Amino acid sequence: MRIPEVLHVEIQRGPGRLAQVLNIAGQKGYYIEGLQAVSRMQNKTIWELTLDMEEDDSRELFDEIADLHFARVIGRSDRVFDRHEGGKIRTEPNIAINNMEVLRDVYTPGVARVCRAIAADGSLAAQYTGINNTVAVVTNGTAILGLGNIGPVAGMPVMEGKAALFASLTALSAVPILIDSEDPEKIIETVCAIAPSFGAVQLEDIKAPECFYIEDELKKRLKIPVLHDDQHGTAVVTLGALINAAESAKITLKEARVGQIGLGAAGIGISELLATYGIKDRCGTDLNPDACKMFEETGGTIRSLEEVMACANIIIATTGVKGLIKPEMVREGQIILALSNPEAEIAPDAALKAGAAFAADGRSINNVAAFPGLFRGILDCRGRDFTGEMLIAAAESLAKQAGRSALVPDPLDKKVHAAVARAVADACKHPES
């Protein structure tokens, strides 16, 4: 598995020496994700070098760098672990509690007045509590990233990351909820029991097919919006990218033939949104017969992998299988979105070299561009359900905001999420009174 490896490399100062070290990494096919000087001395510099590389390749790389005689790897950086130390989120008050008057207002005895008011009129909770600004991020850890079923606690860093992004990008509070069960009914009952604490529920990294049933049942039972991000957040960003890619490639998107490779949670979510958007010609493939049946229920046609690659103008892959798409399968002018993380079905540069008009992977087309604005928007409009119109509005907003030659906009730009939120709120058809 390819991972970001952060190395400290000591190089004796001299013209071209850093370039020789970087050339070794490049020749081995590693992507250089980051480079900065950590310290400089009179005759040497220590560089922090971040490489996207296979876990087991480090020893060979270290030896080749040492063979230069003027450079050596002196250690690995713990930067990633340092940033996780103590967790990535915490709860903080919105007001300073710094004197007895404030204490009596926010706690006893003053808080009783607010409790009584909400008891008399439940709608006041949206104004006088944080419920309408709080999202439950729920997982049972059965489909964490590309790591699979590693359990809820091992998935906590991902859930904290989601919560941190909600807070940073849209000022929403999010609480990770880890459920130690693979029983769909138990998950549903647990979420229903705690739902009064939250304005919305984001389901995350729950494996298919259970994720479909869990989401459907929660939507039926709860009066707050529920969204499985692996399905719908991914679908929104994918559609946004396709709108721009098709325009640049001079393809009429609604008339294109879209081929989907992999029909799990993300694949089915994408298929449903493409159908809602108006793309009728969709073929797909998956090894799971139940997944194929679900795809056919959305109006798609099942084909073999080879047939999908041969007949589709646009390819969307969400299999989790590294290298599944071979360069010789790529047809001239195709749009290829190989979205599996952490490793794609085909690297974008390999797809482009093979003749693709556009190619991208899950690092650039990632649901982080969608989910914060989706939830901000539906909570702002007091919506109960995410509709297809809302998801399409979010996708079109992302497409409009992408810069020249980009498929999607910068996910760290807060203005992007604010615009997505406005689009979702404007498309909200059923606001609560």
For the annotated catalytic residues, the residue numbers are 107, 162
What is the C-alpha separation between 370 and 79, in angstroms, rounded? Answer: 27
What is the C-alpha separation between 239 and 236, in angstroms, rounded? Answer: 5
Ramachandran assignment for 35, one of left (phi > 0), alpha (psi -120 to 50 degrees), beta (any other): beta
Residue with structure tokens 């220590």? 46
Token representation of residue 222: 């709860």
CA angle 269, 275, 281 (to 5 degrees): 115
The three-state secondary structure class of 5 is strand
State the burial class of residue 120 (Cβ atoms within 10 Å of its Cβ: 0-12, 13-18, 19+): exposed
Name the DSSP letter for residue 76: E
| Residue 93 CB coordination number (10 Å) | 8
- Compute CA distances 300 → 16, 59, 207, 263, 267, whole Å: 55, 47, 22, 11, 11
Which spans in 278-387 are helix H?
289-297, 305-311, 348-353, 371-380
Token representation of residue 49: 């070098």
State whether the Cα torsion 315-308-271-246 is positive or negative: positive
What is the C-alpha separation between 262 and 294, in angstroms, rounded? Answer: 12
CA angle 304, 307, 312 (to 5 degrees): 125
What is the C-alpha separation between 411 and 415, in angstroms, rounded? Answer: 9
